Amino acid sequence: MRQLLFTLLFLPLIGPGQTILLEEDFEGLTFPLGWTQTTKSSDGGWLLGTNTLLQSQWWSIGAHGRFIATNDDECDCDKTVDYLIMPPFDLTNLTSAVLQFQSYFDAGSLDGGTEVATVEYSLDNGVSWNLLQTIVGTDDGIWDAQTISLNSLAGNADVLLAFHYFDDNDWLLGWGIDDVLVFELEGTDLELSPLTINSTVDVQTPYIIEGTVTNTGLNSIQSFDVSWTIGTTVYTTNFNSLSIPSLGTYNFSHPNVLTFNTSGSKKLEVVISNVNSLINDFNQVNDGISTQIEAVDYAKFGNRDYIYYHASSAPPNCPLVLVFHGYSGTAHGIMDYSKFNTLAEEFGFAVCYPQGTLDGSNTTFFNVGYDFQDNQTVDDVTFVETLVDSLQAMYSLSEQNVFSTGMSNGGDFCYMLACQASETFKAVAPVAGMIMQDIMDNCNPVKEVSILEIHGTRDDVTYWQGDPNNDGGWGAYPSIPNTISFFTKMFGLTELNSNTFPDIDPADGSSVNSDKHTKSGSCTQVWLYTVNGGGHDWPGADGNMDISASREAWLFFDQLCVSPVVIEEYIEPEIRFDPRAERVTVLGKIGETYELQKSLDLDRWEVSHSFTLETRSETYPLSSFSGNFQKGSIFSFETQTITRLLVDPLSPASAAVQCGFKALPPRWFVKSLEL
């Protein structure tokens, strides 16, 4: 899918006293007065609308307000004679008329067929058409400014001009038209055309301001100034010793290099002036262009890559959202289709797009323990936690409002973070994601993490019904409803509110309903957006178009309470003895201090060992304990909750390392060992 490279502000080309024969911007809701069309297509031919309404799966169109277009990709019908015809012109007394318009045309090819876009004229009321100019396609995501001389038609009355799209009897793309203007050239006038700079740029890369000017007047152009600014400083240079004829063009490069110090949305303004040493040329409204640029930081953290975007609108201590790509995806790819940078500017937060590493098949991934990656050792959880710490320190970001979302493998990783990095992440929003069964089995978050899952019922990659038997080869994982149920039970969420989103795009073949699990007095929420009939997609970018997954994820994050609940879950302490390996493993709660006490009579106790666990389990050699054991002594493993693990070295069942529960308060856990 193509991306619009930059957003331009075009002003109408109307100078004081200039002869305007036709001006049409297609902003109206109905077909322009006096315009007609001919077509054999079944979709109505040339249609009015915005890019979101007129584009299709294989032909994306850059935003340009409302315009008119014919879409062969959507229709796949006969578009050999799609003529968009302007009202008739009387050129009897005009000698230098010009046609200008904005064009969006790729010149695509498929199976030997190539689409063609032409401007044609008729002098017999449309009975026959003649070629005036063939449009050169530019598959670069940019609307192109076209200027065509009508001098060859001067002296004729009742001249018809038309845009003709020809699909070569094949399934191709289409043609978009906007801002049509027919006028008479006058005086000295120079027009600034689109700039050759991408909409997304790297803050660490310097850029040269390059562009094209067109002589839209009658007089030759000998000199002009170009100025640009992206803040308060204005950089101006002069170009002279030129000879640009009427309708001629000149490509310029500004000597002052554009650099960015920080990421964010930047407004670049470029203006031409001092044309032929005149204070003003004939038409000042075509002398400037304003373009909005997203400056992003393509950075490294250790040997790992990531993209960082700090919205210009973000206040100090702003939230941070991490967005994880899918299996085989890229950070740049999900940045493009998720449009989180745009949301960041709208709501004032920072975004980070980490790049996964390569697995054994040289495919990018985040390590959640897929069955076919059991030899992968990369610790993505630690990487992300330390990356977050680094970004918070560098950019003074909020430590409380850190969120994550991701697509597919990136969504799976979000669940992993909810279980294993709950002290870092306040909420996660997996899209088409699942939780691996072994991650669920060992899920023990320190804090409650709110969750929004967006998932299609016809997802053919991450099955809605789950894959408990690992038929798909990723590894066993539960169904999406069971996943939601697991977390709602873990967090004690007893209230449910269900709703349905408006089906604003019936053509996408899917609809969305929501189930929101909450509890009165709790900040924690677990939501499920079910995309009925939806596939393995990121709604709003592909598949379902009733919602935007990116916007819904942020709105979910934004409405959450300030402080997540700390889970005061009781973790049963345990000692595991392995006589063959001569080691003892102590299991319990991280940060908790445990005491191993001994007694000869179950009445008087003394401390034998003390442990403060830095991990869920720590292993010690058996020799550390054997010196303290005596025949007949009984040991208990005690925590601040007075929960004891009794160890009886005289038990005859010790050879089998038996364990069980004894009905003695407070919840004694009994294990046997013979030393």
Collapsed DSSP state (helix, strand, coil) of residue 527: strand
Q: What is the pLDDT of residues 446-460, one digit of tens each?
A: 999 999 999 999 999
Q: Are residues 221 and 101 in the same domain?
A: no
- If DSSP states are collapsed to H, E and C, what string results for 4-67? CCCEECCCCCCCCCCCEEEEECCCCCCCCCCCEEECCCCCCCCEEECHHHHCCCCCCCCCCCCE
Report d(CA 36, CA 583) in Å as an integer.
88
Higher confidence at residue 523 or residue 631? Answer: 523
Same-domain pairing of 160 and 280: no
How many angstroms separate the Cα of 616 from the Cα of each of 29, 227, 371, 449, 605? 65, 63, 24, 20, 26
Considering the domain architecture, whether residues 474 and 611 belong to the same structural domain is answered as no
d(CA 393, CA 399): 10
Structural domain contains residue 658: yes
Q: Are 671 and 657 in contact (CB under 8 A)?
A: yes
Phi-psi region of 627 (alpha: psi -120 to 50; beta: other; left: phi over 0): alpha
Q: Domain of 256?
A: 186-301
9 found inside a domain: no
Q: Which of 150, 169, 185 is the last residue of a domain?
A: 185
- The answer to whether residue 10 scores a pLDDT higher than 50 is no
Verify that 507 and 631 share a domain, yes or no.
no
In this predicted structure, the answer to whether residue 170 has a pLDDT above a threshold of 70 is yes
Interval 354-381 mean pLDDT? 95
Q: pLDDT tier at 596 (50, 70, 90 boundaries)? A: low
pLDDT at 127 over 60: yes
What CA–CA distance (Å, rounded) separates 338 from 334?
A: 6
CB 563 within 8 A of CB 523: yes
Total domains present in the chain: 4
Which of the listed residues 526, 558, 590 is the one where a domain comes to its end?
Answer: 558
**98 near 180, Cβ under 8 Å?**
no
Q: Considering the chain, what is the average pLDDT of its residues?
A: 86
Tell whether the model's pLDDT for residue 32 goes beyond 60. yes
Are 344 and 241 in a shared domain? Answer: no
Contact residues for 555 (Cβ-Cβ < 8 A; gap 6+): none
- Average pLDDT, integer, range 336-343: 95
Measure the CA–CA gap between 474 and 476, rounded to whole angstroms: 7
What average pLDDT does this structure show over 536-555? 96
Nearest-CA neighbor of 257 among 332, 322, 205, 331? 205
pTM: 0.69
Residue 309: inside a domain, yes or no? no
Q: How far apart are CA 490 and CA 443, in angstroms?
A: 10
Does residue 289 fall inside a structural domain? yes
Residues 29 and 106 in one domain: yes
CB-CB contact of 136 with 107 (8 Å) = yes
Beta sheet of 130-134, edge-to-edge order: 36-38, 82-85, 160-166, 116-122, 130-134
Q: Residues of the chain with pLDDT > 90: what percent?
A: 71
Average pLDDT, integer, range 332-340: 95
Q: Is the pLDDT of residue 576 over 70?
A: no
Residue 307 inside a domain? The answer is: no
CATH of the domain at 356: 3.40.50.1820
The Cα 344–Cα 395 span in angstroms is: 15
pLDDT of residue 221: 96
pLDDT at 675 over 70: no
Q: How far apart are CA 605 and CA 599, in angstroms?
A: 5
Average pLDDT over residues 152-162: 96
Using 50, 70 and 90 to split pLDDT, how confident is the model at 420?
Answer: very high
Would you mind telling me the total number of residues written for the chain in this entry? 675
Final residue before a domain boundary, out of 165, 185, 205: 185
Question: Could you tell me the CATH number of the domain that includes residue 630?
Answer: 2.60.40
Average pLDDT (122-133) is 97
- Spatial contact of 630 and 608, defined as CB atoms under 8 Å apart: no
What would the mean pLDDT of 535-546 be, rounded to a whole number?
95
User: 283 lies in a domain?
Assistant: yes
Q: Please confirm whether the linkage preceding 652 is cis (ω < 30° from 0).
A: no
Looking at the structure, tell me whether residues 452 and 504 fall in a common domain.
yes
Predicted pLDDT at 5: 31
Residue 114 in any domain: the answer is yes
Residues 23 and 159 in one domain: yes
Q: Is the pLDDT score of 161 beyond 50?
A: yes
Is 157 found in the same domain as 257? no
**Residues 67-96: what's their mean pLDDT?**
95
pLDDT at residue number 526:
98
121 and 142 fall within a common domain:
yes
pLDDT digits (tens, 9 = 90+) for 199-250: 889 999 999 999 999 998 999 999 999 999 998 899 999 999 999 999 999 9
Task: Note whether 178 and 193 are same-domain residues.
Answer: no
Place of tokens 């072994």: 438
- What does the pLDDT read at residue 661? 26
CA end-to-end distance (rounded Å), the chain = 69
Average pLDDT over residues 330-348: 95
Q: Is residue 569 part of a domain?
A: no
The three-point CA angle 553-557-561 to 5° equals: 155
Task: Report the DSSP pairing between strands 288-301 and 200-202.
Answer: parallel
Q: What is the largest CA-CA distance in the chain?
A: 121
Question: What crossing angle do the helices spanning 340-347 and 331-338 adopt, rounded to 10°?
Answer: 60
Task: Tell me the two tokens of residue 209.
Answer: 């301001």
User: Would the pLDDT of 184 be above 70?
Assistant: yes
CATH number of the domain where residue 38 is located: 2.60.120.260
**Angle at 129 (CA atoms; ends 127, 130), nearest 5 degrees:** 150
Structure tokens belonging to residue 99:
């046609």
Q: Quick one: average pLDDT of 95-102?
A: 93
Mean pLDDT of 275-284: 90
pLDDT at 564 over 60: no
Radius of gyration of the chain (CA): 34
* Whether residue 592 is found in the same domain as residue 540: no
**Cα gap 333→200, rounded to integer Å:** 12
